Structure formats: structure tokens, C-alpha cells
Amino acid sequence: MPRTPEIVTIPCRADNYAFLVHDPASGHVVLIDAPEAAPITAELDARGWRLADILVTHHHDDHVAGLPGLRAGARVIGAAADAHRLPPLDLAVRPGDTIACGPFGVQVIGAPGHTLGHVAYHIPQAGAVFTGDSLMSLGCGRLFEGTAADMADTLARLAALPPETLVCSGHEYTLGNARFALDVDPDNVALKARAVRAQAQRDAGAPTVPVALSEELATNPFLRTDDARIRAALGLADAPPVAVLAELRARKDRF
């Protein structure tokens, strides 16, 4: 009987998420991002798991601050392009690399836009992609370093993954993102249903991530820059997709 890897979502800090991926057969455990050590250590202890690999999406403090308390005995993996501003890496990776983390073949996907060195990690055996602050639930990260064109390319790469892939993003931003999405795409039935469900999840104290890529494709305006209704709402009916993305991001920044 095939045994499916488990994905555990761990709330950290005010609104961050870290994720554990556990292979039941080998006991191998991978952590994606380290916002703070205590809740991650507590989760590991409660399950009797030990970290083998730590994958870092980008250098911002709210994704790496927990590393000093977690890295003993584990391998820390991050982008070679950002090695100078990440905590010390045991393995520096580049977009396009596939690395072995125990039984997992982890695909490194370039995800610039929020930061220039940002990467996402796709673990096909877990059916999941870990997107940090690039593709987010009903949104995308702010453009602190890259351009709208960088983010458009990033989102296109992530959107091309199998639609059943679970998108594990780095923050609980769904409700705020839903308010903006509904402002530019008010007649989207799938979006309205998702916003209602997200509110119920938050009311119950549950995370709204991960979410299937197929659902993001139907509801996230930043993945829907070809949509005629969104384009009409922005007054950009005939603009190139990257111009639509740039306008969405600028409006979201002011929203």
C-alpha cells in the first residue's frame, strides 16, 4: 500500500507558516522556512520527529529567524544567489536544480519578484509546492526587489505545475487578499464561495493554507490576468498580461 507523505502546517509569529513534510516509510522530515523555532520544535517533539533538511525560500527575517534554534543536525538549503544574505547554507541551490532530500526529489523553481533570490520548492511525491512570499493564497508577495515582469514569470512557472498540487504559502493572508480579489473580480462565483469558506476556517481557528493550485487558478486575480472581467474592472481590456499584473499589484499595495 503506498504511504503518502504528510504535510503539517505550523502557525508561527503573527501570521507566518512553516511546513513539515514527513515520509512515513523512512521517517525523513523536511522543514520549509523557519519563522521561529519554538512552535516548530514543539510540533516535532509532539510527533517524535527529527529534522533532516531545512529549505529556505528567501532571506527575510520572518522566514529564517528560527534557524539558529533548529539547524543542529539538519542540513540548511537555500538559494546560491542569496547565500551572502542568508544564514550559512549547507547546500546552495539554483533554479532548475533537483535535489535529493531523503526519499524526496525536490525541484527548485526560480521565484523572483518579492526578492530577487526567492525560490520555491516543488516536492512531487508530496503533491505540494512551497512558495514562501511568491504565489500566495489569493494573492502574491509585494514587489520589494523584482519587477512585475519577474513576478509574472514566477507565477507562470508555478501555474504550470499539476493543478492538484497543494500550494503551501508563507503567510495567513487569505481574508485580506479575498477582499481585494472580490473588489476586482466581484462576479466570480468560485471566489465568492472561497471567501466564505476562508472566513469559516478562520472563525474556527484553522489555517486557510494549503490550497489546491486548481482553486488558485480559478480565484486568484494575480493568476487570472487574461480574464476579461478583471481586465474590464481595471480598464485594461487590451493590455499585455504583465501590465495587468503590475496594475493589480499597485492597487493591492494601496488597498
Footprint on this chain of Zn ion (rule: CB under 5 A): 60, 133
Q: How far is the CB of 69 from Zn ion (least distance, A)?
A: 20
Burial 48-76 (b: 16+ CB within 10 A, else e): ebebbbbbbbbbbebbbbbbeebbeebbb
| 167/191 with CB nearer Fe ion | 167
Q: Which does 231 bind (CB under 5 to 8 A by kind): Zn ion, Fe ion, none?
A: none
Cα(29)–Cα(126) distance, integer angstroms? 12
Q: How far is the CB of 169 from Zn ion (least distance, A)?
A: 11
The residues in 131-150 that bind Fe ion, with binding defined as CB under 5 A, are 133
Strands (E), 183-253: 211-212
| 82/133 with CB nearer Fe ion | 133
Cα(177)–Cα(179) distance, integer angstroms? 5
Q: How far is the CB of 174 from Fe ion (least distance, A)?
A: 15
Which residue lies nearest Zn ion, judged by its C-beta? 60
Q: What contacts 35, CB < 8 A, 6 or more positions away?
A: 12, 13, 16, 17, 18, 62, 63, 65, 66
User: By rule CB under 5 A, what string of x and - marks binding of each residue 44-83 to Fe ion?
Assistant: ------------------x---------------------
Q: How far apart are the two ends of the chain, measured CA to CA in Å? A: 49
| 22/249 with CB nearer Fe ion | 249
Cα(19)–Cα(181) distance, integer angstroms? 26
Phi, psi of 30 (to 5 degrees): -115, 135
Q: How far is the CB of 63 from Fe ion (least distance, A)?
A: 6
The residues in 211-240 that bind Fe ion, with binding defined as CB under 5 A, are none
Q: Interface residues with Fe ion (CB under 5 A)? A: 62, 133
